[in-house]
Chain A
Amino acid sequence: MTSTAARPDDVKSPGSVADPRRTSWPVLVVFLVPALAIYVGLTAYPAFRTIYDSFFTIEGLDATFVGLDNYRALMSDETFWVAVRNTFVWSFIAPVLDVSTGLLLALALYAGVPFARFLRVAWFTPVLLSYVVVAILWMWIYNYDWGILNEVLRAVGLGALASSWLGDPNLALGALIVTHAWKWAGFNMVVCLAAIHSLPREVLEAADLDNCGWGAKLRHVIVPMLRPTLLNLYILAFIGKMKIFDLVWIMTGGGPLWATETVSTYVYKRAFNWNTFDLGYPSAIAAVWFGVVCAAVVILNRVLASKDRLEY
């Protein structure tokens, strides 16, 4: 770093300065307390309440302690397991789609395609739309009779492939995943682009001088150097998908035949749609799911990121 290199004389001796990675408690308090206060007041308490509720059955204003009954019932709840399966499929597969599309788009912009400034905005517009609007638009796109997807298929002579995309249990989940990827690819692109821009230019130029093709450059230089960013994006997308709700709720409501039921839609159904004020059971689902996602994130971090943290 140039800044330190320019000033070695200022350092009297390394030992005389206090360890710069330590600081006094008041400073930490100033930095951390606002965040922790918000966390404790508005996140931890409701979360704790949820876990507490999961040991009760609640009828109106009366709560009855039932111990682990909700958890036991959950283990044999068929719908819950279907929801878990769907959510896992979505969470593990879809982020790959999101992140790789985002990376390719960012590379295209970085490589200097014409109209890059326009394209950067054009590709980002889906991110700006709310789930409600995205859901309505894509329900039209997937419409059997006049949706653009089927219209195009019919126009190119593939009319036999025209389907009721959201109405077929074999296709509905895939259709939702595509819609979700459509919305989020642009966000991944922006983050990747920022990361590419902050790569040391010399490395990329050196690769250019070596007459390194784009493929090789991508594999040997760009992807390894972007690893922390890509990983962050993957985990972020993963968590987003583990909680996925709005899009599914509006487009399919978990149907047909529970083919698109996710854990969050099931929690919501149990909490708001099952003609009961019982928060116990949905709280149990939320608590279990909280554990599962935490564990998954920790494992993902271990498996994928073992060496990244140490490098800096």
Chain B
Amino acid sequence: MAFFSMLGARDPGATPLPRLFARGGLALVIGAYTIYTLGPFLWLATMSVRTTGEISLDHYAWPSPFHWEQFRIAWVDSNFATYFWNSTLVVVGAVAVVTLVGAAAAHALARYRFKGNRLIYAVLFSSIIFPPQITLISLYQILVDYNLYNSLLGLTLVYISLQLPLTVYLLEGFFARIPQDLFDAAKMDGYGDIEIFRRIVLPIGMPAIATTLILNFIQLWNEFLFAVVLITDPDKRTLPIGIRAFMGDHFQDIGMIAAGVMISVVPVILAYIFFSEKLIRGMTAGAVK
């Protein structure tokens, strides 16, 4: 789309006709891209109120009648209420802790000069690279040793460790760019180190923190591999495992999968809408520079 807008703007003296064309073209491209991103999701939404039998007959038909009961079946009969609560508990807990711990570490690494700074940074960061499929078994052993296997607390800890390197990496990069003058001034005003972190770094770093929050939340909300291996108790399952239950060995219950996905994703979208508004407003209002 920028290509078209470039066309429109490159020559300000151009006749209105090409500009109109460029405008139309831009709208067309933006419209097409929107269909491309939103289309599959809306398609999935229609499937969530259709039965699998209906879907198999025609994948693109409009729901008729609307099978709202699929949501009830998922929520009540298939225990999604429990899964939802478990997911919320684990993911919100993990995201809160990892953001705080990660931000503290990122701040120390970005701000202070001390021996081993870059080494610690490299060590923390490098763990982002290890394929989780391979550390899975050692991790499992550790959780068993500490009696955290098959517990939501254990899963939360694993999730914290999973997202920690990414959080440190993103935040360190941003914190390092906060002008040093701010800190010098704060010091002179008598702020302690912890206060500086709380009253300067966290508020100013909000855009970056919000970004990591969003990313961590989404990745953990959808996490599957660790959830399936570390939790076997049906009462402790999380949403992705709940959805998985509809993907049978022989028979994929597409309608129920779609309903399950809607239950898991709609709250996230609403949270994102709310959050991103705040985020953008925060960024435009209190911009650092």
**Which residues of chain A have a CB within 8 Å of any CB of chain B?**
1, 3-4, 7, 10-11, 17, 19-23, 27-28, 30-32, 34-36, 38-39, 41-47, 49-50, 104-105, 107-108, 111, 113, 117, 119-133, 136-138, 140-141, 146, 148, 182, 185-187, 190-191, 193-194, 197-201, 211, 213-215, 218, 228, 232, 236, 239, 242-243, 245-246, 263-264, 267-268, 271-272, 279, 282-283, 286, 289-290, 293-294, 297, 309, 312
Q: Is B65 an interface residue, CB under 8 A from the partner?
A: no
Q: Is B170 an interface residue, CB under 8 A from the partner?
A: yes
Q: Is B268 an interface residue, CB under 8 A from the partner?
A: yes
> How long is the Cα–Cα vector from A35 to B222 in the complex, in angstroms?
23
Q: Which of B1-28 contact A (CB under 8 A)?
A: 1-2, 5-6, 9-10, 12, 26
Q: How large is the interface on B (under 10, 10 to 19, 20 to 34, 35 or more residues)?
A: 35 or more
Q: Is B86 an interface residue, CB under 8 A from the partner?
A: no
Q: State whether A290 and B133 are in contact (beta carbons under 8 Å apart), knowing that A11-B188, A34-B105, A104-B1 are contacts in the complex.
A: no
Interchain CB contact under 8 A, A108 and B243: no
CB-based nearest A residue for B167: A35
Q: Which of B109-130 contact A (CB under 8 A)?
A: 109, 111-114, 120, 123-124, 126-130
Interchain CB contact under 8 A, A42 and B139: yes
Interchain CB contact under 8 A, B6 and A267: no
| Complex contacts, B109 vs chain A, CB 8 Å | 32
CB-based nearest A residue for B279: A194
**Which residues of chain B have a CB within 8 Å of any CB of chain A?**
1-2, 5-6, 9-10, 12, 26, 30, 33-34, 36-38, 40-41, 43-44, 59-60, 101-102, 104-105, 107-109, 111-114, 120, 123-124, 126-135, 137-139, 142, 157-158, 160-161, 164-166, 168-170, 173, 176-177, 179-185, 187-189, 193-194, 197, 207-208, 210-211, 214-215, 218, 221-222, 224-225, 240, 243-244, 247, 252, 257, 261, 264-265, 268-269, 272-273, 276-277, 279-280, 283-284, 287-289
Chain A CB count within 10 A is highest, among B5, B30, B131, B193, for B131
Chain B CB count within 10 A is highest, among A35, A41, A232, for A35
Interchain CB contact (< 8 A) of B185 among A7, A130, A312 = A7
Q: State whether A215 and B193 are in contact (beta carbons under 8 Å apart), knowing that A32-B120, A125-B269, A294-B129 are contacts in the complex.
A: no
Known: A36-B105, A129-B41. 18 other contacts (CB 8 A): A44-B127, A50-B135, A105-B1, A121-B269, A122-B37, A123-B37, A129-B222, A130-B261, A133-B243, A133-B261, A137-B40, A146-B59, A193-B280, A194-B279, A197-B207, A198-B207, A214-B9, A215-B6
Interchain CB contact (< 8 A) of A119 among B26, B34, B214 = B34
Interchain CB contact under 8 A, A42 and B157: yes
